Amino acid sequence: MKYYSKKEAAAVLGLNPKTVERYLLSGKMKGAKLGRTWRISEDDINSFYETMRQETAETIKSQGDAKPIDTN
C-alpha cells in the first residue's frame, strides 16, 4: 500500500496542503500523524474523494429541486 505526505495528498486531490491539514485535524479525512508529519494511505485518499464526490452530487441535485425565485 502506498502512503502520501500531506503535500502529496493535496496534489493528488487538487487541494491546498493547508486544506488537507484542516480535513485531517477535523477528522473529515483519515490519516496518521507520525511526529510532525502526516501520512495518508491511498485507500484513505480514495475514500475521501468518493465521499466528497457524493456530497457534491447530492448538493447539486438538491439545488436542482429548488424553485427559482420570481424577480417580477
What are the residue ranges spanned by the domains of the chain? 3-61
- pLDDT band, very low/low/confident/very high, at 7 (cuts 50, 70, 90): very high
Task: Give the tens place of pLDDT for each residue, 18-61.
Answer: 999 999 999 999 999 999 999 999 999 999 999 999 988 888 88
**Structural contact between residues 48 and 23, judged by C-beta atoms closer than 8 angstroms:** yes
The reported pTM is 0.78
**Structural contact between residues 46 and 29, judged by C-beta atoms closer than 8 angstroms:** no
Q: Which residue, among 47, 3, 2, has the nearest Cα to 23 in the 3D structure?
A: 47
- pLDDT band, very low/low/confident/very high, at 11 (cuts 50, 70, 90): very high
> What CATH code is assigned to 3-61?
1.10.1660.10
Which has more confidence, 37 or 72? 37
Cell of 5: 505526505
Q: Please give the Cα distance from 49 to 42 (Å, whole number).
A: 11
